[in-house]
Amino acid sequence: MRMHARTLMHAYNQTPFDKRQREILLQKLLGKIGINVDIQTPFFCDYGVHIEVGDNFFANFNCVFLDCNFIRFGNNVFLGPNVQVYAAYHPVVAAERIKGPELASPITIGDNVWIGGGSIICAGVAIGENTTIGAGSVVVKNIPANVLAVGNPCSVIRKLD
């Protein structure tokens, strides 16, 4: 699966902006895509098939999705450049980590979410609808709907109307 994804990613990243050709490649690479999906290159993922994106999805340059588990994006989700979404994680105890296990937990990002550039979304996190994540944030726990959240670790600053 990983080699298949690498082949499709390479083709996608090398395709000049031909909207139809890029859409065909994304349909082959990703588990589900909505309409009006725009992922700027370069774009990187592990398997692709565990990534689901809704309608009107935009990911700016250099986004990385480690999809060892499902990563689900709702409709009208926008990602700034260099956003990294990590479903994968490893044991924190060195003796366990060096045995080589790779663990993963799903990530869910609701409708109408904006994630600012350089943010990192960690394994097992859910971000509620209509939420904005500030640039450079590290999201390590669930963020509710309708809020502005920023920082490292990312925390809610205020509710949004």
Q: What is the count of structural domains for the chain?
A: 1
Q: Which domain holds residue 131?
A: 2-159
Q: What is the mean pLDDT of residues 62-66?
A: 98
Give the number of other CB atoms < 10 A from CB of residue 29: 22
16 pLDDT above the threshold of 90:
no
Collapsing DSSP to helix, strand or coil, 67 comes out as coil
Catalytically active residues, by annotation: 90
Question: Is 0.85 topped by the overall pTM?
Answer: yes
| 69: CATH | 2.160.10.10
CA distance 134 to 115: 6
CA distance 83 to 66: 11
Work out the end-to-end distance of the chain between its first and last CA atoms, rounded to an integer number of angstroms: 43
17 pLDDT above the threshold of 90:
no
pLDDT tens string 78-92: 999 999 999 999 999
